[in-house]
């Protein structure tokens, strides 16, 4: 029982981290969330994040379902090391791309329009995010890098994994909109660039940390 509890704590921690890692980079929806928070108010920005979160969760569920089919094969053939190694490298490249990118190029300056309903704002964010199925590869890289493979012996672990990812994503969008709402009077493109570089730097650091642990067989992040 004690081992099972520790396992669930590990799953929750990694799920939260993956939810944040996948949501944090300033892609089109991230920029849209910032814009709406500044121009329409925090709740409009937050429901934009919720819309993106719901779309991400669909792809997370697909990835988790795939993991359940391949986990035994990975363990049986000793491929976990290579999977983690590839995941670390892919996520590190993603972090470098995020650090070097300029998300403000995706910003559109236009005349003021109607706010629309909260549902409409969330729906548009959902559709924009859902139109990018490449997010599956980011989930795959994150799962591989953090050895996030729920046990097939405990179906409940998949539910816990899914909910942990959802909570991590929601925590990110809640925190981002809270910060932007507090400083929006002085927030500009430079602020978005700074956030993006910090996020990219953190992703690179985590990738290098886990890559080091993988190569030297040191348990890092669980």
pLDDT in tens, 145-170: 777 766 656 677 778 888 999 999 99
d(CA 127, CA 50): 12
pLDDT in tens, 19-51: 998 898 877 888 889 889 988 999 999 999 999
Structure tokens given for 15: 């799920």
d(CA 122, CA 49): 7
108 burial class (0-12, 13-18, 19+ CB within 10 angstroms)? Answer: exposed
What is the value of pTM for the model shown?
Answer: 0.78
d(CA 203, CA 191): 18
Of 176, 171, 172, 151, give the one whose Cα is nearest residue 161: 151
Q: Is the pLDDT of residue 208 over 50?
A: yes
């Amino acid at each position: 029982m004690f081992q099972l509890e520790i396992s669930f704590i590990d799953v929750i921690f990694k799920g939260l981290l993956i939810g944040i890692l996948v949501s944090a980079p300033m892609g089109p929806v991230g920029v849209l969330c910032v814009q709406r928070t500044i121009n329409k108010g925090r709740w409009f920005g937050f429901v934009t994040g919720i819309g993106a979160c719901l779309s991400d969760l669909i792809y997370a569920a697909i990835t988790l379902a795939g993991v359940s089919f391949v986990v035994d094969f990975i363990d049986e053939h000793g491929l976990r090391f290579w999977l983690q190694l590839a995941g670390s490298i892919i996520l590190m490249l993603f972090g470098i791309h995020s650090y070097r990118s300029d998300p403000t190029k995706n910003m559109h300056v236009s005349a003021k329009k109607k706010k629309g309903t909260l549902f409409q704002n969330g729906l548009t964010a959902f559709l924009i995010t859902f139109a990018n199925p490449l997010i599956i590869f980011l989930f795959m890289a994150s799962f591989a890098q953090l050895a996030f493979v729920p046990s097939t012996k405990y179906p409940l672990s998949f539910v816990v994994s899914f909910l942990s990812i959802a909570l991590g994503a929601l925590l990110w969008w809640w925190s981002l909109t809270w910060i932007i709402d507090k400083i929006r009077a002085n927030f500009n493109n430079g602020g978005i660039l700074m956030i993006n570089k910090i996020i990219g730097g953190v992703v690179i650091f985590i990738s290098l940390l886990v890559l080091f642990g993988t190569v030297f067989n040191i348990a890092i992040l669980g």
